[in-house]
Amino acid sequence: MTDMQLIFEKSRPGRRGVDLPACDVPEVDLADALPRDYLRQVPPGLPEVSEPDVIRHYTALSRRNHGVDLGFYPLGSCTMKYNPKRNEQFARMSGFAGLHPLQPVETVQGALKLMAALQEALAAVTGMDAVSIQPAAGAQGEWTGLMMIRAYHRSRGEERTTVIIPDSAHGTNPASAAMAGLRVVTVPSNDRGGVDLRALERVLGGDTAALMLTNPNTLGLFEEQIVEIAQRVHAAGGLLYYDGANANAILGKARPGDMGFDVVHMNLHKTFSTPHGGGGPGAGPVGVKAFLAPFLPSPVIRREGDRVVLDDDRPQSIGRVHSFYGNFGVLVRAYAYLRAMGPEGLRRVSEDAVLSANYLMRRLAPYFELPYDRTCKHEFVLSGARQKRQGVRTLDMAKRLIDFGFHPPTVYFPLIVDEALMIEPTETESLETLDAFVDAWAQIAEEVKSDPDKVRSAPHTTVVSRLDETLAARAPVLRWTDEPSS
């Protein structure tokens, strides 16, 4: 079954999968409407297939895939939780989905009210004063936040260009800092998995623009010294940036604004009910304390009496970071989720996510090394160093897990843990699923001793076994050609 054809290879001239209605508006000759240089000389090489062929093709592909709706997906740092289907229905309501981005503001008051209410809810959850829902992803939220921090320092006549980032941080943090034209300084973690305060003091100075922190961090551990850290950074004139991509452990429990953070971003596609994976769409709203509000991306969505307006008159703004209204469908899902859960429901989300993670951590600890033996939050990190000494790598065990019907956890991240296995169960899994996951690991740990080759050659139950880990990302459509099918 490895020789499944591409849809392009199934193409036969003249076959059609859709029956478009006759054109009921005057036809325009594109040659009159657009400059000749921009017009295609040959038709695009789209596949020509019948409706049954196209349905069968994608149904077959979907059966070879794994997703949250198919099985457990404990990918650490990614919050792959079940997303309620009713939120999909809301996002598809014609009054939302059928809006044109250029409609006059007076005719889209409902959409704008939803966005204003979502901003207010996210501000309440994070303890911030103002929120922009423009950014399309966590990484773009980080970049937006750092650009605001830069603009703030500049507005005070200071050119601060260093961002301090712990060695446990998500890779997007240093990448966003570099994209924002800032220099990255790394601080090491202490033996409890938190920021080493003395190392932090050594790198703080007149050049410090900000400290970027995730709390709980990517080890799943709450930063116990956050108040001291915030005091030190502020005393040095720097600001605190909160990477809130995974807010699953803090909802209704702790707020970055109360911990001393000045800027946060959240990932609506992790915590707030938008399915993700495969590249989007998502949303990475940013929240700020009042003193940074003038720098928020423009236009700002703002209530004015019982109307909502798009305010473009903001001289200190860093400018627009997304066209039109951001990824609006994602915003509808997040709003529906927040309304359905309410404050009490959100607290339960965090309690259940943390409970599930601690249950799994304790039950899996006998089979692996546990580098930080502390109560974890929404996720935890194990080490496969013991198995590595027996000749089996964490990657091999992760591949073997696929044979049990589970998506492997995040591996080899965070970098500071040798042979890391980073597991995030989320709040939406049953005890039976968690127990079945433990049983699978128990068997794999046993196989490492009794039949290591079986683990090293896994997976055995999939259509293809070991894939090139990066080729698909680097050359996504190897056989796409821009020629008409022959």
Ligand X SMILES: *Cc1c(COP(=O)(O)O)cnc(C)c1O
Q: Which is nearer to ligand X, 141 or 384 (CB)?
A: 141
At how many degrees (to 10) do helices 138-155 and 172-179 cross?
Answer: 40
Q: Which residues from 148-177 bind ligand X, rule CB under 6 A?
A: 170, 172
Q: Which is nearer to ligand X, 218 or 298 (CB)?
A: 218
The 202-221 site mask, x for binding ligand X (CB under 6 A), equals ------------x---x---
Position of tokens 């703002």? 302
Q: With binding defined as CB under 6 A, does residue 138 bind ligand X?
A: yes
Number of residues near ligand X (by CB under 6 A): 14
Q: Which is nearer to ligand X, 68 or 308 (CB)?
A: 68
Q: Are strands 183-187 and 130-132 parallel, antiparallel or unpaired?
A: unpaired
Q: Do 199 and 232 touch, CB atoms closer than 8 A? A: no
Tell me the C-alpha distance between 4 and 19, whole Å.
27
Q: Which residues from 47-66 bind ligand X, rule CB under 6 A?
A: none
The 272-291 site mask, x for binding ligand X (CB under 6 A), equals ----------x-x-------
Distance in Å, CB of 284 to ligand X, minimum = 6
Residue 76 DSSP class: T
> Candidates 241-249, 251-259, 367-375, 395-403 — which segment interacts with ligand X by CB under 6 A?
241-249
Q: Which is nearer to ligand X, 145 or 384 (CB)?
A: 145
Among 267, 274, 383, 485, binds ligand X (CB under 6 A): 267
Q: With binding defined as CB under 6 A, does residue 249 bind ligand X?
A: no
> Candidates 84-92, 243-251, 319-327, 431-439 — which segment interacts with ligand X by CB under 6 A?
243-251
> Candidates 131-139, 204-212, 412-420, 437-445 — which segment interacts with ligand X by CB under 6 A?
131-139
Nearest to 90 by CA among 342, 429, 428, 339: 339
Distance in Å, CB of 344 to ligand X, minimum = 26
Q: Give the torsion through C-alpha atoms of 315, 316, 321, 326, to 10 deg.
A: -70
420-423 sheet: strands from edge to edge: 380-383, 420-423, 410-411
- Kindly state the tokens that stand for 469: 């880990």
Q: With binding defined as CB under 6 A, does residue 338 bind ligand X?
A: no
Q: E strand or H helix at 351, and its extent?
A: helix 328-364
Q: With binding defined as CB under 6 A, does residue 350 bind ligand X?
A: no
Q: With binding defined as CB under 6 A, does residue 426 bind ligand X?
A: no
How many other C-beta atoms are found inside a 10 Å radius of the C-beta of residue 285? Answer: 30
- Kindly state the tokens that stand for 13: 């001239």
Q: With binding defined as CB under 6 A, does residue 383 bind ligand X?
A: no
Residue 459: asked if its preceding bond is cis (omega within 30°), the reply is yes
Distance in Å, CB of 163 to ligand X, minimum = 14
Q: Which is nearer to ligand X, 137 or 338 (CB)?
A: 137
Q: With binding defined as CB under 6 A, does residue 248 bind ligand X?
A: no
How many other C-beta atoms are found inside a 10 Å radius of the C-beta of residue 8? Answer: 16
Q: Which is nearer to ligand X, 284 or 297 (CB)?
A: 284
Nearest to 260 by CA among 285, 284, 232: 232
Among 126, 189, 246, 394, binds ligand X (CB under 6 A): 246
* Residue at 86: amino acid letter: R
- Kindly state the tokens that stand for 320: 């627009």
> Candidates 132-140, 159-167, 291-299, 400-408 — which segment interacts with ligand X by CB under 6 A?
132-140
Q: With binding defined as CB under 6 A, does residue 77 bind ligand X?
A: yes
Q: Do 236 and 205 touch, CB atoms closer than 8 A? A: yes
Nearest to 164 by CA among 215, 224, 239: 239
Binding site for ligand X (CB under 6 A): 77, 137-139, 170, 172, 214, 218, 243, 245-246, 267, 282, 284
